[in-house]
């Protein structure tokens, strides 16, 4: 990078405007985190008293966690999309739930052992019986 590029980058209003948005969203992130903790306590108390969680709190918690995720993506330059209030609040359709996720667990399969008879009377280059290395089992999972 030469001096002209550096000077152009430093004077670019695009970078400084992004910094202002980043400070704003860092503050909103802190507020959203505080609201999330209040939500956690409320949901726990509701569950403790009634024996089950509150659907409305669960739905709001899901959209709030999506908003926090969107904010972190903007702050870390993963996304250039500005989250709420410059975009719509995350709807229930944007929230990923456990029902939307399929988990596939792969189990390792052992390779069958194929035994090849060794002719012990046949001399090899090492003086011992000759072993075909192509028939040894593969120990990788």
Q: Where are the domains of the chain?
A: 7-100
pLDDT at 17: 94
| pLDDT above 90 as % of the chain | 52
pLDDT at 122: 58
pLDDT at 84: 93
Give CA–CA dist 50/61, Å, rounded: 18
pLDDT at 114: 62
Strands (E), 34-118: none
Lookup: tokens for 70: 């969107």
Contacts of 67 (CB under 8 A, 6+ apart): 32, 83, 84, 89, 90
Query: Whole-structure pTM over 0.75, yes or no?
Result: no
- Sorting pLDDT into bands at 50, 70 and 90, what band is 110? low
The answer to whether 65 and 33 are in contact (CB under 8 A) is: no
């Amino acid at each position: 990078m030469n001096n002209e590029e550096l000077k152009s980058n430093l004077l670019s209003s695009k970078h400084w405007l992004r910094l202002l948005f980043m400070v704003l969203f860092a503050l909103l992130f802190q507020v959203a985190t505080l609201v999330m903790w209040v939500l956690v306590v409320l949901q726990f108390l509701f569950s403790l008293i009634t024996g089950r969680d509150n659907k409305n709190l669960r739905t709001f918690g899901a959209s709030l966690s999506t908003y926090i995720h969107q904010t972190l993506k903007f702050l870390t330059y993963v996304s250039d999309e500005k989250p709420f209030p410059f975009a719509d609040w995350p709807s229930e359709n944007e929230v990923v739930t456990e029902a939307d996720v399929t988990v596939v667990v792969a189990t390792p399969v052992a390779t069958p052992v194929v035994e090849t008879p060794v002719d012990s009377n046949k001399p090899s280059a090492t003086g011992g019986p000759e072993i075909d290395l192509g028939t040894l089992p593969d120990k990788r999972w």
